């Protein structure tokens, strides 16, 4: 008979075997990464272009381009693109990140060769109709006005501006003036410069037709190259500390404490990743146990370690009652001080390692998930097997290393505080 009172044993995940993609180089130089598999007849194609904020000649050009690139080409109207896509039960999207613009197609395998020409047509020949640009600006400015009434959004914007500076592509904030200043000619200039084989990578996952790559080759072989997106020049992140307080007359206050940092390719990143997990990176973290469970000062608190292509940052965020902000800040620095002064118990360290190992393993759930991991590794110029290496480095991280990293990177004089009431 099963003994209900006895919990199952917990095992540490010692290694992850990351499936290596098949890599094919097209005649125009575009690398294609293939992850084939899955139990469903589904396929995902992702064109990734080095065309994000660091490469802009004018602010908000990249995000505006991503917002309207699929709204019509030289041979297809926005209505026709939507109609053909919907007929196949598929989706075409253009996600934007700080560093990249993507064009993604998700569809049933049987439709991929039908829809592939549309996806490539959008990438190569968008028209950026003036009417679509004006509609995008109208929608975006309405959404921006709503966002700026939320103190958590304002808090995030002020925090990133402090971390990187208002002139940095990661630090400047969107505004009505900047959106209105983007013209159709700016989008054409940005597209001409950065949307070409020289700045493109293609990721494909799922159940794939055997002749898919040959079709991609046929549709892109005459694609002219543009400017190779080199290392952009921008100001260094702003090192220092300070407290920014703003009042939107809200009952609830939003709080962020953080600093600029490096990205995942820095040798200290794995250890800081584990340190961040212990501090506030999962539900069993120290900040969650103290501020939420013991003190009841917030519904949720988290610490995030964000890695970008050229930099990164660490940020603790939460919302609490206005009158409790001071107490919450004291508790946060109390937990940081404990991490800097006291060696973390072995059981707690092992629990954090087990959690991070399980999290990394969950990223391998199927070809589409594996594609996202692969894409992130390549996007930040990390090794393809970065996830395997990360697990090994986390496993080797000691309690003394965690304490030393807390002393190095969590000093109060290096942390910005942003409070929005």
CATH code, 172: 3.30.830.10
Count of CA atoms in the C-beta half-sphere (13 A) of 299:
5
Q: Label the pairing between strands 416-420 and 242-246.
A: parallel
Residue 121 lies in a domain: yes
Mean pLDDT of the chain: 92
Residue 233 lies in a domain: no
Which pLDDT tens digit goes with each residue over 279-322? 999 999 999 999 999 998 899 999 999 999 999 999 999 999 99
Q: How far is CA 23 from CA 20, 32, 67, in A?
A: 9, 6, 30
Residue 13 lies in a domain: no
Instruction: Identify whether residues 202 and 79 lie together within a single domain.
Output: yes
Q: How far is CA 200 from CA 28, 95, 157, 193, 400, in A?
A: 10, 15, 30, 12, 43
241 CB neighbour count, 10 Å cutoff:
14
Which pLDDT tens digit goes with each residue over 7-65? 777 677 777 788 889 999 999 999 999 999 888 899 999 999 999 999 999 999 999 99
Instruction: For the chain, list residues with pLDDT below 50.
Output: none
Domain that holds residue 172: 22-220
- Number of structural domains in the chain: 2
| Amino acid 98: pLDDT | 94
* DSSP label of 64: H
Residue 405: which of 418, 389, 417, 394 has the closest Cα?
A: 394
C-alpha–C-alpha distance, residues 317 and 325, integer Å? 12
Instruction: Identify whether residues 108 and 166 lie together within a single domain.
Output: yes
Instruction: Identify whether residues 207 and 246 lie together within a single domain.
Output: no
| Amino acid 211: pLDDT | 93
Residue 339: which of 245, 396, 271 has the closest Cα?
A: 271
Count of CA atoms in the C-beta half-sphere (13 A) of 55:
27
Predicted structure pTM score: 0.91
Q: What are residue 280's DSSP bridge partners?
A: none
Instruction: Identify whether residues 211 and 333 lie together within a single domain.
Output: no
Residue 178 lies in a domain: yes
Residue 236 lies in a domain: no
Sheet with 42-49: strands ordered across: 22-25, 31-36, 200-206, 42-49, 101-108, 91-93
């Amino acid at each position: 008979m099963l003994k209900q009172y006895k919990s199952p044993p917990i095992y540490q995940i010692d290694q992850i075997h990351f499936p290596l993609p098949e890599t094919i180089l097209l005649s125009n130089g575009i690398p294609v990464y293939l992850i084939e598999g899955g139990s469903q007849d589904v396929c995902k194609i992702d064109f990734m272009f080095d065309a994000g904020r660091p490469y802009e000649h004018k602010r908000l050009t990249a995000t505006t381009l991503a917002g309207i690139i699929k709204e019509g080409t030289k041979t297809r109207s926005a209505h026709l693109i939507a109609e053909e896509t919907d007929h196949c039960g598929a989706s075409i999207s253009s996600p934007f990140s700080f560093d990249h613009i993507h064009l993604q197609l998700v569809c049933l395998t049987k439709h991929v060769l039908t829809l592939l020409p549309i996806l490539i047509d959008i990438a190569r020949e968008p028209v950026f109709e003036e009417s679509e640009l004006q509609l995008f600006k109208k929608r975006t400015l309405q959404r921006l006005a709503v966002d700026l009434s939320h103190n958590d959004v304002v808090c995030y914007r002020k925090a990133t501006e402090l971390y990187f500076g208002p002139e940095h592509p990661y630090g400047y904030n969107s505004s009505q003036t900047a959106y209105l200043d983007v013209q159709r000619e700016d989008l054409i200039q940005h597209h001409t410069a950065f949307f070409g084989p020289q700045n493109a990578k293609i990721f494909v996952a799922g159940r794939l037709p055997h002749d898919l790559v040959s079709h991609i080759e046929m549709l892109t072989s005459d694609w002219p190259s543009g400017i190779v997106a080199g290392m952009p020049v921008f100001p260094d992140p702003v090192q220092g500390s300070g407290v920014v307080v703003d009042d939107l007359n809200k009952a609830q206050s939003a709080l962020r404490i953080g600093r600029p940092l490096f990205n995942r390719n820095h040798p200290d990143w794995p250890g800081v990743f584990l340190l961040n997990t212990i501090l506030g990176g999962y539900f069993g973290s120290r900040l969650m146990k103290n501020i939420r469970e013991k003190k009841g000062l917030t519904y949720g608190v988290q610490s995030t370690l964000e890695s970008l292509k050229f930099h990164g940052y660490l940020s603790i965020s939460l919302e609490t009652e206005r009158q409790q902000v001071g107490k919450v800040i004291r508790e946060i620095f109390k937990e940081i001080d404990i991490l800097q002064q006291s060696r973390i118990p072995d059981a707690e360290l092992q629990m954090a390692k087990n959690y991070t190992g399980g999290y990394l393993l969950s990223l391998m759930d199927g070809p589409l998930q594996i594609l996202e991991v692969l894409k992130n590794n390549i996007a930040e110029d990390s090794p393809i097997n970065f996830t395997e290496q990360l697990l090994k480095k986390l496993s080797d991280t000691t309690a003394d290393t965690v304490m030393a990293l807390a002393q190095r990177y969590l000093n109060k004089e290096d942390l910005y505080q942003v409070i929005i009431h």
